[in-house]
Chains A and B, each alone.
Chain A
Amino acid sequence: MSETAAQETTAHTASTAHGASIELENLTKHYPGGAQPAVDGVSMEIKAGETVVFVGPSGCGKSTTLKMINRLIEPTGGRIRIGGEDVTDIDPVKLRRKVGYAIQSAGLFPHMTVAQNIALVPRMTGWPKARIRARVEELLDLVGLDPGEFRGRYPRRLSGGQQQRVGVARALAADPPVLLMDEPFGAVDPITRDHLQDELIRLQHELHKTIVFVTHDFDEAIKLGDRIAVLRERSHIAQFDTPEAILTNPADDFVSGFVGAGAALKRLNLTRVRDVEMRDYPTVTVDTPLQQIFGHLRSSGESEILLLDRRRRPYKWLRRGDLMRAKGSLARAGTLVHDTVTRDGTLRDALEAVLTDNAGRVAVTGRRGEYLGVVDMETLMNSVHELLEADRLEAMEAQHELEEARAQQTHQEQEGPGGVTKA
Chain B
Amino acid sequence: MNFWEYLGSRQQQLLADAYQHASAVFQCMVLATVIGVVIGVVTYRSDWAGNLATTATSTVLTVPSLALIGLLVPVVGLGVPPTVIALTLYGLLPIVRNAIVGLRGVDPMLVDAARGIGMSRAMRLVRVELPLAWPPILTGIRVSTQMLMGIAAIAAYASGPGLGNEIFRGLASLGSKNALNQVLAGTLGIIILALLFDAAYVLIGRLTIPRGIRV
The residues of B that contact A170 with a CB separation of less than 8 Å are 117
The residues of A that contact B109 with a CB separation of less than 8 Å are 103-105, 107
A296 is an interface residue with CB less than 8 A from chain B: no
Specify which of A103, A107, A109, A156 lies most central, judged by the most chain B CB atoms within 10 Å of its CB: A109
Separation of A100 and B118 alpha carbons in the complex (Å): 9
Pair A97/B118 contact, Cβ less than 8 Å: yes
Separation of A219 and B112 alpha carbons in the complex (Å): 27
The residues of B that contact A75 with a CB separation of less than 8 Å are none
B77 is an interface residue with CB less than 8 A from chain A: no
The residues of A that contact B112 with a CB separation of less than 8 Å are 72, 103, 107
Residue of chain A at shortest CB distance from B128: A109
Separation of A93 and B156 alpha carbons in the complex (Å): 54
Pair B212/A94 contact, Cβ less than 8 Å: no
Cβ-defined partner of B212 (8 Å) among A101, A105, A112, A121: A112
The residues of A that contact B213 with a CB separation of less than 8 Å are 110-111, 156
A312 is an interface residue with CB less than 8 A from chain B: no
Separation of A70 and B113 alpha carbons in the complex (Å): 12
The interface on chain B, measured as residues whose beta carbon lies within 8 A of the other chain's beta carbons, has a size of 20
Cβ-defined partner of B110 (8 Å) among A100, A104, A109: A109
Within 8 A of A (CB), among B94-151: 109-110, 112-120, 123, 127-128, 131-132
Pair B117/A97 contact, Cβ less than 8 Å: yes
A317 is an interface residue with CB less than 8 A from chain B: no
Q: With A124-B123, A154-B212, A155-B212 in contact, is A107–B110 under 8 Å at CB?
A: yes
The interface on chain A, measured as residues whose beta carbon lies within 8 A of the other chain's beta carbons, has a size of 28
Q: With A103-B109, A103-B112 in contact, is A111–B117 under 8 Å at CB?
A: no
Separation of A103 and B123 alpha carbons in the complex (Å): 20
The residues of A that contact B212 with a CB separation of less than 8 Å are 110-113, 154-156
Separation of A105 and B120 alpha carbons in the complex (Å): 22
The residues of A that contact B132 with a CB separation of less than 8 Å are 109-111
Separation of A355 and B159 alpha carbons in the complex (Å): 90
Residue of chain B at shortest CB distance from A111: B210
Pair B113/A93 contact, Cβ less than 8 Å: no
Residue of chain B at shortest CB distance from A173: B117
A419 to chain B, nearest CB (A): 51
The residues of B that contact A109 with a CB separation of less than 8 Å are 110, 113-114, 127-128, 132
The residues of B that contact A111 with a CB separation of less than 8 Å are 131-132, 210, 212-213
Separation of A120 and B114 alpha carbons in the complex (Å): 10
The residues of A that contact B114 with a CB separation of less than 8 Å are 109
7 A-B pairs with least C-beta separation = A107-B113, A154-B212, A96-B118, A101-B116, A97-B118, A111-B210, A111-B131
Interfacial residues, chain B to chain A (CB-CB below 8 A): 109-110, 112-120, 123, 127-128, 131-132, 210-213
Listed A/B pairs (9) with beta-carbon separation below 8 Å: A70-B116, A72-B116, A96-B115, A101-B116, A101-B117, A107-B113, A109-B110, A110-B132, A110-B213
